[in-house]
Copies of this chain bind each other. A is one copy, B any other.
Amino acid sequence: MNTFGRLFRLTTFGESHGPALGSVIDGCPAGVTLEAATIQRALDRRRPGQSAVTTARSEGDRVEILSGVFEGKTLGTPIAAIVRNENQRSGDYEALRTQDRPGHADRVWRERFQHRDHRGGGRTSGRETLCRVIGGAVAEAFLARDLPQVRSVAWVERVGGLVAPPPPMTLDREMVDAHPTRCPHPETAARMEQEILEAKAQGDSLGGVIALRVTGLPVGLGEPVFGKLKARLADAFAGIGAVAGVYWGPPDLLDALVRRGSTFHGQAQVYGGIQGGLSNGEPLEARVLFKPPATLGNHARQGRHDPCILPRAVPVLEAMTSLVLADLWLQHEAFRHLPG
């Protein structure tokens, strides 16, 4: 339902136009250094209104930690953190009370739940990903202590027809954040920005591909049959609203499938990182396909939605990755012990 993970678990709550959104992280070990400021920094990376290429909504999004942290360290108890919805402007949405937005899940949600908050999508709003970022920030604080060599970095590889070349293995989040599109290839980034602004001016929208690379993984994360590392990540990524697909392998995987196994596997191993469902210690790369957002034209302007959500989705994918890794690491630890 609204809980993600088995041992390191994120439970999220909150409607986009209710009093608050929040997260409860249960299963984070005690003694992990964590401050509200750490979570706040993660939220700021997801926040809209940072540049012209994302939505103009100015969301304050100040996080407050309610439990689980004492004197700057986690207590081993559930960590609850909330963000108040300060800028609700319900009036903007009053027209939607009796009307389903085209391309949205309004009708489906109404048939399932009968009763619904018509203001901005409720739980189906992209604002829900804020809770994932809170969870991811806690997961990263834990990983930073227990698996300090793990690094995950996502970047915008493609917007519409524009594709950036593969970045160097030294890529880090700072390099990604240097451009508002979060494409680390400056030339492509500039063209992407122009493309997004044009789409925005026309009330149109753009999809694309975010790539994700994880390095420094220990060997053996994941389960051999149903909880394969790639399955856990696929679940994590496909659970984000606009995601239309996930794949492992080279950027042009569909084209690469032409090749036979004898030539394919050299390359696959480079991009692989997963064997038999488990991490093999090599870098892992995934690619996540995003549909163009459905909100168009007048609705887009009225609700101030993004013409291209990929830049803001980058920290969300990283957060989901950290949640999966933290959970699998705890699982790994549970079973690691050997006869004394």
Contacts and interface: CB of A to CB of B under 8 A. Distances in A.
Interface of A: 1-4, 7, 9, 11-15, 18-22, 24, 26-27, 29-31, 64-68, 70, 73-80, 82, 103-109, 111-117, 121-124, 128, 145-146, 158, 160-161, 199, 202-209, 219-220, 223-228, 230-239, 241, 243-249, 253-254, 257-262, 264-265, 268-269, 275-280, 287, 289-294, 296, 330-340
B244 A244 contact: no
A117 B73 CA distance: 10
Query: Taking chain A's interface residues, is the majority helix, strand, or loop, or is none over half, making it mixed?
Result: mixed
A278 B337 CA distance: 21
A160 B178 CA distance: 39
Given A296-B261, A340-B146, A24 B1 contact: no
Contacts of A227: 1, 239
Contacts of A291: 249, 257, 261, 264, 268
B238 A2 contact: no
A75 B268 CA distance: 28
B339 A264 contact: no
A238 B276 CA distance: 11
Nearest to A4: B226
A25 to B, nearest CB: 9
Contacts of A223: 1-2
A253 B244 contact: yes
19 contacts: A11-B26, A13-B66, A13-B77, A18-B70, A22-B67, A29-B337, A31-B113, A66-B82, A70-B115, A75-B117, A107-B280, A109-B224, A121-B276, A124-B276, A244-B248, A245-B248, A257-B291, A261-B292, A265-B294
B262 A205 contact: yes
A73 B115 contact: yes
Contact of A108 (B208, B233, B276): B276
B337 A113 contact: no
Interface centre among A111, A225, A268 (most CB of B within 10 A): A225
A85 to B, nearest CB: 10
A145 B339 contact: yes
Contact of A245 (B106, B145, B245): B245
A258 B160 contact: yes
Contacts of A246: 234, 238, 245-247
Contacts of A22: 66-67, 80
Contact of A31 (B64, B115, B226): B115
A278 to B, nearest CB: 5
Contacts of A2: 24, 26, 77-78, 223, 225-226
Nearest to A269: B103
B265 A226 contact: no
A90 to B, nearest CB: 11
A234 B238 contact: yes
A229 B130 CA distance: 21
A54 to B, nearest CB: 15
Contact of A260 (B206, B275, B336): B206
